[in-house]
Amino acid sequence: MAFPSCFLLLILALIAAAAEAVGMAEATAAASGASRKKTYIFRVDHLAKPSVFPTLAHWYASAAFSIGAADPLPLLHVYDTVFHGFSASLSEIRAVALAAHPNVLAVFEDRVRHPDTTRSPQFLGLRNQVGLWSDSDYGSDVIVGVLDTGVWPERRSFSDRNLGPVPSRWRGACETGPGFPASLCNRKLIGARFFSKGHDAAFVGGGGAGINETVESRSPRDADGHGTHTASTAAGRHSFDASMAGYAEGIAKGVAPKARVATYKVCWKGSGCLDSDILAGFDRAVADGVDVISVSIGGGDGMASPFYLDPIAIGSYGAVFRGVFVASSAGNDGPVSMSVTNLAPWLTTVGAGTIDRNFPADILLGNGRRLSGVSLYSGKPLSGSAYPLVYPGKSSGLSASLCMENSLDPKLVAGKIVICDRGSSPRVAKGLVVKEAGGVGMILANSASNGEGLVGDAHILPACAVGSAEGEAIKTYAASVAAPTATIQFKGTVVGVRPAPVVASFSGRGPNGIAPAVLKPDIIAPGVNILAAWTGATGPTGLDSDGRRMEFNILSGTSMACPHVSGAAALLKSAHPDWSPAAIRSAMMTTASITDNLRRPLTDELTGKPATPLDFGAGHLNLGRAMNPGLIYDLSDEDYVAFLCSIGYDPRTVQVITHVLVACPAKKPTMEDLNYPSISVAFDGVSATKNQSRTVRRTATNVGAESSAVYRSRVEVAATQGLAVNVRPRKLVFTTGSRKQSFSVTVTATSAAAAAAAGSDGDGGGQYGYLVWSDGAHQVRSPIVVSWMQPL
């Protein structure tokens, strides 16, 4: 839009007046010590840029945005792809003044977030020379962008042997820095960038130490290990004779071994990831030409932010708008209800499940009882038959029971195996405390909130993790005899574990705290004890004192599950280049498994009881079926805009997310009508004593090989639940000229259903079922979740 010169002069005059007033306020604030700077992200209406400015950066740096000071804005990042605006380090007074600028749509303060295999590809149903791996040529030429802690490029997982030229559409670069020459990029690792301006403004500008350049360079190199692990999980090349100190031996490979990798270092060791840098990573990755983005980064302070204040939601919308698939981690704050993060419906949110491999260790007590646990300890085993056993929490209090730093009395624990409770500090750090106090070993006991969920750790002393029940049994034994003893026996690697998968106890759970009509997580994938490449800068525990260096490490978390889905998306994108991000997600969700390898319903690791869609979404990723889903539920930009209008956002707020002008329909859309592969209905909890009914609508697209097909519906809901589900029409007929068919689903719940949900254990007060469309060859499954929401 071009402004008349007289109008532009008027704007500049008003801005100058405002600058003078705010400048006086800043001087007063400075005198009182209230002018400390913070980093803010500004969303700007880029369509309002006067033509006199050649670029948005010139406009932002001009006097037009110098409200509150005579000097230009100290810009950190300028965003112009998935987001339009800038970040800057400002005083609160100047930020408030700038928020009133007529072209500033939104302002939010920068926040710190944190980053949330030899067998897992086979566990997902991938096989050499057949199926999706073969049909997609192992993801060849698809570009996966990874927003994380960087990369250790020398690992075999990033070899470019036998790969063809870099795709011609690639527009990225290999940024250099200390110890990271451009020659480290190749035909596999085709791009590497780093983003530190937001980090520096938050930590150095805020009086902190900033980046410790003795352990981490200003380059894409990964000093933490998390980014190398996730990138190689998604798209690592075949690495023969891989293991972590003998554990999980085999051929390590990513889900999409021939896909190209581009890394965007937005997280820094020990200090996390700043929203402003994350948003810059999204902006650059899409501009560079990635096809898939993997974001294993949590939700900041654990509280779900509205979509218009969430840079991951905003950045990912801009990516999806341009056809880029985005996978994100569901968070590790489970099993608490409503703990899932990354809730936007255009994101594919991934929870964690186990695979059929484990690393058992046994604890043999002095009374002859044998208990099972898990460990990745690879050092010298315990010698002798037994050692004294002690639980310091019995006599020394809470901090000692948790084995916190400086909490253990060497006189009490020296020469003994120490029982430590899980929580409050890293699991491996507790082992260091025990070792420094003279202990010879550690038994790490889960709390009741962790249940029986176990993950392996590469401990620095002989140590084993046990579930809550085993932990209580060991403590009871230690308290019941005068001289308790124990030893730990390490069993190595065991394959063929049953049942698997199981929903990991730490995996973030629903319901969706912002939009309950969208079920989150969407899906679960392998996220427990995953082997992948590792940094050369730190040991497998990440502890400063751990001098071991390994090519591979075994980690657990939804951070490990997310890149499995990112790699899966690369395979599906390669096999179906015309599919949208929503189509790819739909194919994964409607073909996901809801049973384990015992052919029983998926269970919850916490309790051992059946899990629900609030725990696992549509189910566990099964790539043996996702290649040919039969039907998909697609979504357009208009659908997402209607959804945002349905949850009460006005057009200006929607524009903050979509970066385009929108108009909400005169009649408010229905939130549940978003064409999602799952169905979630939230009834009024106040009216739970009455029968309630809700109708939702969906449109299915036939993507099967046969253009003419007939699908019939089947509803799987237990009649005793008090739920009735009615589908109209019950049959969908597809032809060459009619690839899309719409239908409605009416869910009716009685007061008995609400009462049954309220009395259920650990499921968030919900009832569940499934809608399945079948043509005899395909089973297109959607979970149905019914909940009763109480007013705030």
Q: Which residue in this structure is represented by tokens 């692990």?
A: 229
Task: Provide the 8-state DSSP code for 177.
Answer: B
Q: Which of 698, 693, 705 is nearest to 732 (CA)?
A: 698
Q: How far is CA 63 from CA 11, 17, 24, 70, in A?
A: 10, 12, 17, 8
How far is residue 720's CA from residue 492's CA, in Å, rounded to a whole number? 46
- Give me the phi and psi of 590, to 5 degrees please: -75, -10
Strands 112-113 and 272-274 come out as: antiparallel
Strand order in the sheet with 84-91: 75-80, 84-91, 37-44, 104-109
DSSP state of 334: T
Q: At what angle do helices 226-235 and 558-575 cross, to 10 degrees?
A: 30
Tell me: cis bond preceding 669? Omega within 30 of 0 counts.
no
Strand partners, 733: 710
Q: 3-class SS at 328? A: strand
226 flagged as catalytic: yes
Residue 364 CB-density burial (10 A; 0-12 exposed, 13-18 middle, 19+ buried): middle
DSSP string, 140-181: TT-EEEEEES-B-TTSGGG--TT--PPPTT----B--BTTB-
Ramachandran angles phi, psi of 141, nearest 5°: 75, -5
- The angle, 0 to 180 degrees and rounded to 10, between the axes of the packed helices 311-321 and 651-658 is 70
483 neighbors 580 (Cβ within 8 angstroms): no
Which stretches does DSSP call E strand in 394-456? 417-421, 441-445
- What tokens were used for 171? 């527009």
Catalytic residue among 77, 101, 199, 226: 226
Q: What is the Cα 518 distance to its own chain's centre?
A: 17
Whether cis (ω within 30° of 0) applies to the bond prior to 462 is no
- Alpha carbons 250 and 238: distance in angstroms, whole number: 10
List the catalytic residue out of 559, 574, 586, 787.
559
Q: Out of 45, 148, 222, 634, pick the active-site residue.
A: 148
Q: Which of 415, 345, 399, 387 is nearest to 585 (CA)?
A: 345
Alpha-helical (H) ranges within 248-397 are: 275-288, 311-321, 393-396
* Structure-token pair, residue 449: 């909130």
Q: At what angle do helices 5-31 and 92-99 cross, to 10 degrees?
A: 150
DSSP run (H or E) holding 230: helix 226-235
148 catalytic residue (yes or no): yes
Q: CA-CA distance, 688 to 420, in Å (whole number)?
A: 45
Token pair of 83 as six digits: 């987001």
Please say if 559 is a catalytic residue. Answer: yes
* C-alpha span between 108 and 656 (Å, rounded): 11
Residue given tokens 């790539």 in the structure block: 623
Rounded to 5, what percent of the chain is helix, strand, coil? 25, 25, 45
d(CA 245, CA 333) in angstroms, rounded, equals: 29
Q: Please say whether the beta carbons of 425 and 434 come within 8 A.
A: no
Residue with tokens 């690791």: 605
SS3 731: strand
What 3-state class would DSSP assign to 392? Answer: coil
> Which residues are known to be catalytic?
148, 226, 559
